[in-house]
Amino acid sequence: MAKIWRQPHTLEGLNALNSNTMGEKIGIVFTEIGDDYLTATMPANENTVQPYRILHGGANVALSETLGSVASTLCIADLKVQTAVGLEINANHLKSVREGGQVTGVCRPVRIGRQVHVWQIEIRDEKGDLSCISRLTVAIVARQ
């Protein structure tokens, strides 16, 4: 696939976006920018696990939403005119990840339209096993 990003970007810049956000609080770190994908990691720790000491499903959704929303923002030609807003997200939690581990999410486009972007996010554990698969729909709207 061809390069899809329309905004300048660096890993340092993407990680700076997380400053003072939930993403920072739960440890999301962008780790790779490909021509048509973004990758980020997140720990399974006291900030992201549920009472049974496994990664909380909501943390998976937060990682997915973060990856997809940032990806959509990078695809917008003029950020002074338009912005990306999440419209719908779903997640299938396929395998638990125990506290002490780490997951990696990879976000790839399903469709990048003028008004709607759809992203698929695969979240894998440290062994490479698929832990969660998520789909995010993002609306591209006029900035107000």
Q: For the chain, what are the domain ranges?
A: 11-142
Percent of the chain with pLDDT over 90: 97
pLDDT above 80 (res 39): yes
58 Cβ neighbours under 8 A, 6+ residues apart? none
Residue 45: φ, ψ to 5°: -135, -170
Percent of the chain with pLDDT over 70: 99
**How many Å from the N-terminal Cα to the C-terminal Cα in the chain?**
33
The 8-class DSSP code of residue 54 comes to B
65: annotated active-site residue: yes
Residue of 24, 32, 46, 65 marked catalytic = 65
The band of 33, judged by pLDDT with boundaries at 50, 70 and 90, is very high
Q: What is the CATH number of domain 11-142?
A: 3.10.129.10
- Mean pLDDT computed over 113-127: 98
The band of 144, judged by pLDDT with boundaries at 50, 70 and 90, is confident
The band of 1, judged by pLDDT with boundaries at 50, 70 and 90, is low
